[in-house]
Structure 1
């Protein structure tokens, strides 16, 4: 059971306590299990004096990760969180696990890239919410047949704006383009909304603009029902958003995480 703790060494002059290094190692291994893949995951535990660790008291716990993949398809450029004081079962560390005595909250930040967001639109989970849709607003266009949206491409713009292109097929017209701009916003700290959506006719052939505008409005409704963080919660970790911001080709979320347990620890 100590196999995962092998290789622990103290860098010369670091003064790092063995208990803290052991906790760092166990925590890093546990957190990596949250992700399908990770480029790097780093953990730092602050505990002063270090003897408090024997009573299970930690001043703060910080995690930072890069190149993370969640549920096989959702790419996260960077994720970090830092807790306040944490109470743990010290004995669980000796068994290569971490058990919290009580839930704790952490300040969190998540960075997504434009490419990562577009890859997410191709995931099975998202595709299911874009296909075979029956919408009253589209009955006249589709003849009552289900409608599916495909080839979604999102572009991040300044001031939390996005431009989105997509295509859909109708019974008598294939590959009808959808073109819109919208403002990203947060509802109840967990849902991402595409507010103030506007049809962008310049990207659509004039003969299809009337149809495309109706499809675009329907597509905006679909998007507003789709991105709910509760569908993407990590094992034992619930994320909430206080604010979001577009910065170049990146979308940055700031908020908090409620950590109920470490993955694989029950």
Structure 2
């Protein structure tokens, strides 16, 4: 076994130790997702004898069609580390453990359809329905207010359009339409700023309350997306920038990896 790890190559020229580590890493990472279309891992270690000391040159992962925590769809995700120190004995036992924390360059791509699907997730719904915020209940005569049928359309230059219905708990539904800027704030929050309320398609007798409720929804969204709420155990995501590109929202940043999590 150790002869293979330190130099034996298969007919295709792939080092056995790297292949074993790729297999272990792929199995470990797949368990982080509820579903995945594909997860590929590439480990580089030269000379391969360094693997015996747990030292590898780089670690790269790419995945497509991923689902995190049952409800959050990711079209593509990739990350790549520099040199990493791992527990070699753990690899032989089928586990991937880091000897010390590391960082990885990361990119995450969300689709417009996946974003809209996320608005049906329980984690999101509980921040949008049966709200009893004073500013809202004054409008509804003390009844809880719910924002439903939220739909997002990605626009150029990091803007998006949001349409929704506000249920005042009285049976009256108020249509909401607006566009907003989205940006990265403090490397961990997604901010929703500069809302432009669109009232052309709102009945005249509902326009004033639609304006107020649209701004209230924008404020709720601005306080909703904090990456610390979605961190995997032992992994923190930090963002440098985001960009809308057609029907895709592209995030780039890095991951602070303290340890490899065992499950999402």
The TM-score, its normalising length taken from structure 2, stands at 0.93
Distance 2:219 2:9 in 1: 55
* Residue in structure 1 matched with residue 4 of structure 2 by the alignment: none
Unaligned runs of 5+ in 1: 1-9
Give the alignment partner of residue 182 of structure 1, picking from 170, 180, 183. 180
1:35 paired residue number: 33
Shift of 1:135: 2.2
Q: Is the Cα–Cα contact under 8 Å of residues 68 and 77 in structure 1 kept in the other structure?
A: yes
- Rounded Cα–Cα distance in structure 1 between residues aligned with 2:221 and 2:235: 24
Correspondence 1:110-129 to 2 at 5 A: 110-129=108-127
1:50 lines up with 2:48 in the alignment:
yes
**What whole-Å deviation, never above 9, does each CA across 1:86-113 have from its counterpart, x for those lacking one?**
0011111000001100011000000000
Q: What are the within-5 Å matches in structure 2 for residues 202-217 of structure 1?
A: 202-217=200-215
1:147 is matched with 145
1:203 aligned counterpart, secondary structure: coil
Measure the CA separation in 1 of the matches of 2:39 and 2:200.
44
Aligned length: 256
Out of 239, 242, 254, the residue aligned to residue 241 of structure 1 is: 239
> Where does residue 221 of structure 1 map in the other structure?
219
- Residue 69 of structure 1: how far off its partner (Å): 0.2
Equivalent residue, structure 2, for 1:22: 20
Superposition deviation, residue 203 in structure 1: 2.9
Shift of 1:17: 1.0
Question: Does structure 2 retain, via aligned residues, the 8 Å contact 1:66–1:79?
Answer: yes
Structure 2 Cα separation of the partners of residues 247 and 183 of structure 1: 14
Residue 88 (structure 2) pairs with residue 86 (structure 1): no
Q: Distance in 2 between matches of 1:12 and 1:202?
A: 67
CA drift of 1:68 comes to 0.1
Equivalent residue for 1:72, pick from 57, 70, 73: 70
For 1:17 and 1:47, locate their aligned partners in 2 and report how far apart those are by CA, in whole Å. 9
Give the SS at the match of 1:78.
strand
1:33–1:263: 8 Å Cα contact kept in structure 2?
no
Which of these residues, 95, 98, 113, is aligned with residue 97 of structure 1? 95
Q: Per-residue deviation at 1:188?
A: 1.0
Distance across 1 between alignment mates of 2:97 and 2:210? 53
